[in-house]
Structure 1
Amino acid sequence: MAEPTIIDIAHSLGREEAKRRMESRVGKLASHIPGGAATVTSSWPSADRMALTVSTMGVEVPCTIDAEDRRLRVTLHLSGILSLVAGPIAAVVRQQGERLMLDDRSTTQA
């Protein structure tokens, strides 16, 4: 198995607000995954860690998101051919993570 891909997303929200946004927005993740047929399951194995499994096109990608005071640390476990395109996947995760987690406009627009 390939080494995990780690993506850090800086923020100035504080740990508790970051966790609140993670919890309130996890349901939107599937709609941001290319391919259109993704499912996302989530759980909280500890107070500051969300575990996710993203399933799309017959592939499951387990990942964790650790909420810290000044960053979110996303760890993806890419297997097989996906590990060969870890760079572009990480770029999409970073972009969508910033958009979903840090952009308050997503909660204030009608």
Structure 2
Amino acid sequence: MAKPLVVSIPHGLGKDEARRRLETGFTGLKQQFGQHLTAVQDTWTGDRMDFRLAAMGQQVTGHLVVKPDCVDLEVNLPFLLAMMADKAKALIQKQGNLMLERK
């Protein structure tokens, strides 16, 4: 297995608001990318969300932790998807920023 993909997304929302936006945003991602992502599962335990999904027929697992000033995300990509880790990291960073931006 490849090294986990790690992304830290800064925010100024506080933990509760950041978590609320992530919960809403993750539901939106399922709808937006539903044709590319299947078997999407997420489980919250406190400020940590564990997730599992399938992309391009490959199983992806990971977790995120909501902190007062950032969200730390770790994604375990299978070999096929790990070859596209740079593109995946950019997409994760973009979507995370969209979820957490001030409105």
TM-score under structure 1 length normalisation: 0.82
Q: Which has the higher strand share?
A: 2
Structural RMSD (CA): 1.7
User: Does the alignment pair 1:82 with 2:81?
Assistant: yes
The two structures have a TM-score, normalised by structure 2, of 0.87
Offset of 1:29 from its aligned partner?
1.3
Runs of 4+ in 1 over 2 A off after TM superposition: 30-33, 100-104
CA contact (8 A) 2:11 2:100 kept: no
Report Cα offsets for 1:5-32 as digits up to 9, x if no partner. 1001110001111111122222111244
Aligned residue in 2 for 1:28: 28
Do 2:2 and 2:77's aligned partners in 1 also have CA atoms closer than 8 Å? yes
Give the fraction of aligned pairs with identical amino acids, expressed as a percent: 28
CA distance in 2, matches of 1:57, 1:28: 19
1:62-109 Cα offsets, whole Å, 9 max, x none, are: 1111100110111110111211211110000100111123253xxxxx
Q: Which residue of 2 aligns with 1:108?
A: none
Return 5+ residue gaps in structure 1 as ranges: 105-110
